[in-house]
C-alpha cells in the first residue's frame, strides 16, 4: 500500500473517493447474485427463464459497452461513472413495478448498462492516475473494492430477502448505488483526461471490428469470453444447485468465500505481475478456475462447496485484475475506454449466453453436468492462452509462463 503515499495528495483523494464509490456499487450489484434466481422462481419462472433473466443483464452490458467506451475516451470518465451509478440506483426500484418475466428481463437489461458504464469509467480513470511501472499494483489495490463488495453483497442480499422481503432488498440496493453516486460526484477528474478528446477522436476512427480482431486484443477477449461463459453458468445455478442437493449452506456464503479469496490473491498478484510479467499469473488463474469447476461438480457438503468457492475466487480475482493490466499495457491512454470495452465485452458476452445455454442443458442434464461443461470450457481457455497469446506458439508459451515480455505492449 506504500504506493498511495508516493502519489500527489489530489490523486490520492480521487482514488479514495473512487474506491468508496466502487465498493458501494459492487455491493449493490452483488446483492442480487443469490437473490434474483430465487426471485424469478418465486414468480413462477422455469429454469430456462431463470437463465434468460440473468442473461438479460449481460445483454445490456454488451449493447452499450462500446458506446460507453467511446464516451469515456472522447468526453469524460467521471460522466460515465455517474451514469453507471445513477442507473444502478434507478433500476432496482423498477423491479418492484414489474409483474411478468418479460418486463423483468427488460429491466435487467437496463440495469446491465450501469455495470458497463461504471466499470469502464472506473478502470480508465484509475489507469490514468497510475504510474506506468506500478500499474498492475495500483489496479489490483483499487480493484479490491470488487471482491469486498462481492463478499458483502450476497450475504446482505440473502439476509434481507429471507429475513424481510424483496421490497426491502431492492430499496437497499438502490440506496447503495445512490451513495456510490455521491462519492463519485466528489472526484476531480484530472485535466489531462478532460483535454485528450482530439487524440481520442483519432483513435475512434479505427473500425471496431478491426480493433476486435487485432492480435493485441482478440486472445484476451476470447479467453475472457470462455471464462465468462463458465462464470455465468456458475453464478446462475450454484444457488439452485445448493437448494437441490439439500446442503445446509446459505448460497451467499459461497460467493462470500470466493470474494474473500479474490481479495487476498489480488494483494499478491498485482505487484508481482509488475515485476514478473502478466502471463504466468493469467495461466495460474485459469488452472485454478478450471479446478474450481471440477470440485464444484463433485460437491455434496458445505466444506467442499466452500472449497470450490475459494478456488473460483483465486481464479477470477487474478484473471480479471491481471487481464485489465494486460489490456492497459496494450492500449494508448486515448483509446483506453474503447479497449477496455472490447476486451471486457468478451467476459460480458460469455455471461450473457451462459445462463440460457446452461439453462437449456439443465432441463436435459442435472446441475452437476453443467459444472462438468464449465470445467471443459475453462481448460479450453487455458489451452487458448498458452498457445495463442503471442506472435507464435513458442513465444506464446514463453509469455504465458513469464519467460518473455509481452510483444504487444505499447507503453
pLDDT at 338: 81
- Which CB contacts under 8 angstroms, 24+ apart, belong to 142-146? 142/15, 142/18, 142/19, 142/22, 143/266, 143/320, 143/321, 143/324, 144/19, 144/263, 144/266, 144/267, 145/19, 145/20, 145/22, 145/23, 145/26, 146/22, 146/26, 146/262, 146/320
pLDDT at 200: 45
Distance of CA 227 to the CA centre of its chain: 11
Query: What is the maximum alpha-carbon separation in the chain?
Result: 59
Tell me how far apart the alpha carbons of residues 298 and 302 are, in angstroms, rounded to a whole number.
12
Whether residue 15 lies inside any domain: the answer is yes
Whether residue 167 lies inside any domain: the answer is yes
Element (H, E) at 340: helix 336-362
Burial status of residue 213 (CB atoms within 10 A of its CB: 0-12, 13-18, 19 or more): exposed
CA 188, 190, 196, 201 torsion-angle sign:
negative
Whether residue 408 lies inside any domain: the answer is no
CATH of the domain at 102: 1.20.1250.20
Task: Identify the domain containing residue 332 by its residue range.
Answer: 2-400
| pLDDT tens-digit readout, 162-217 | 778 878 888 999 999 999 999 999 888 876 544 444 544 555 556 666 777 788 88
Whether residue 365 lies inside any domain: the answer is yes
DSSP 8-57: -HHHHHHHHHHHHHHHHHHHHHHTTTTTHHHHHHHTT--HHHHHHHHHHH
Q: Which residues of the chain have pLDDT under 50?
A: 193-197, 199-200
Whether residue 409 lies inside any domain: the answer is no
Q: How many domains in the chain?
A: 1
328: Cα within 13 Å, side-chain hemisphere: 29
Neighbour tally for 134: CB within 10 Å: 17
| pLDDT tens-digit readout, 288-298 | 999 999 999 88
Whole-structure pTM value: 0.76
Whether residue 406 lies inside any domain: the answer is no
Tell me how far apart the alpha carbons of residues 335 and 341 are, in angstroms, rounded to a whole number.
10
Element (H, E) at 89: helix 77-95
pLDDT at 339: 83
Tell me how far apart the alpha carbons of residues 330 and 182 are, in angstroms, rounded to a whole number.
32
Whether residue 411 lies inside any domain: the answer is no
Whether residue 405 lies inside any domain: the answer is no
DSSP H helical ranges for 129-214: 135-142, 145-163, 166-185, 191-194, 197-204, 208-213
If DSSP codes are grouped into helix, strand and coil, which group holds residue 207? coil
Tell me how far apart the alpha carbons of residues 8 and 161 are, in angstroms, rounded to a whole number.
43
Amino acid at each position: 500500500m506504500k504506493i498511495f503515499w508516493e502519489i500527489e495528495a489530489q490523486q490520492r483523494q480521487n482514488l479514495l473517493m473512487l474506491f468508496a464509490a466502487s465498493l458501494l456499487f459492487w455491493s449493490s450489484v452483488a446483492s442480487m447474485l443469490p437473490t434474483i434466481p430465487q426471485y424469478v422462481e418465486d414468480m413462477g419462472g422455469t429454469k430456462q427463464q431463470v437463465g434468460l433473466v440473468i442473461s438479460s443483464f449481460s445483454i445490456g452490458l454488451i449493447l452499450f459497452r462500446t458506446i460507453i467506451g467511446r464516451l469515456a475516451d472522447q468526453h469524460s470518465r467521471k460522466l460515465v461513472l455517474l451514469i453507471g451509478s445513477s442507473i444502478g440506483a434507478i433500476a432496482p426500484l423498477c423491479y418492484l413495478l414489474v409483474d411478468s418475466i418479460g418486463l423483468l428481463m427488460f429491466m435487467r437489461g437496463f440495469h446491465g448498462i450501469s455495470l458497463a458504464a461504471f466499470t469502464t469509467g472506473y478502470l480508465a480513470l484509475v489507469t490514468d492516475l497510475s504510474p506506468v511501472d506500478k500499474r498492475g499494483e495500483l489496479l489490483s489495490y483499487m480493484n479490491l473494492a470488487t471482491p469486498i463488495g462481492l463478499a458483502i453483497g450476497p450475504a446482505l442480499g440473502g439476509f434481507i430477502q429471507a429475513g424481510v422481503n424483496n421490497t426491502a432488498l431492492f430499496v437497499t440496493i438502490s440506496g447503495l448505488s445512490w451513495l456510490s453516486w455521491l462519492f463519485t460526484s466528489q472526484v476531480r477528474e484530472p485535466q489531462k483526461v478532460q483535454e485528450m478528446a482530439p487524440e481520442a477522436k483519432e483513435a475512434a476512427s479505427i473500425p471496431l471490428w478491426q480493433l476486435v480482431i487485432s492480435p493485441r486484443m482478440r486472445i484476451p477477449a476470447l479467453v475472457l469470453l470462455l471464462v465468462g461463459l463458465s462464470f455465468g453458468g456458475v453464478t446462475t445455478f450454484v444457488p439452485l444447485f445448493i437448494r437441490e442437493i439439500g446442503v445446509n449452506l446459505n448460497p451467499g456464503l459461497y460467493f462470500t468465500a470466493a470474494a474473500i479469496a479474490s481479495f487476498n490473491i489480488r494483494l499478491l498478484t498485482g505487484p508481482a505481475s509488475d515485476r514478473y510479467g502478466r502471463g504466468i499469473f493469467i495461466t495460474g488463474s485459469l488452472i485454478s478456475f478450471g479446478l474450481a469447476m471440477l470440485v464444484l461438480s463433485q460437491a455434496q457438503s458445505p466444506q467442499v462447496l466452500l472449497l470450490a468457492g475459494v478456488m473460483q475466487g483465486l481464479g477470477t480475482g487474478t484473471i480479471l485484475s491481471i487481464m485489465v493490466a494486460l489490456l492497459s499495457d496494450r492500449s494508448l491512454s486515448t483509446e483506453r475506454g474503447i479497449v477496455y470495452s472490447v476486451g471486457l465485452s468478451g467476459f460480458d458476452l460469455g455471461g450473457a449466453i451462459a445462463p440460457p445455454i446452461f439453462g437449456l442443458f439443465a432441463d436435459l442434464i442435472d446441475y452437476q453436468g453443467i459444472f462438468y461443461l464449465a470445467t471443459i470450457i475453462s481448460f479450453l481457455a487455458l489451452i487458448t492462452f498458452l498457445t495463442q497469446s503471442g506472435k507464435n506458439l513458442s513465444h506464446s508459451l514463453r509469455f504465458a509462463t513469464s519467460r518473455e515480455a509481452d510483444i504487444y505492449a505499447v507503453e
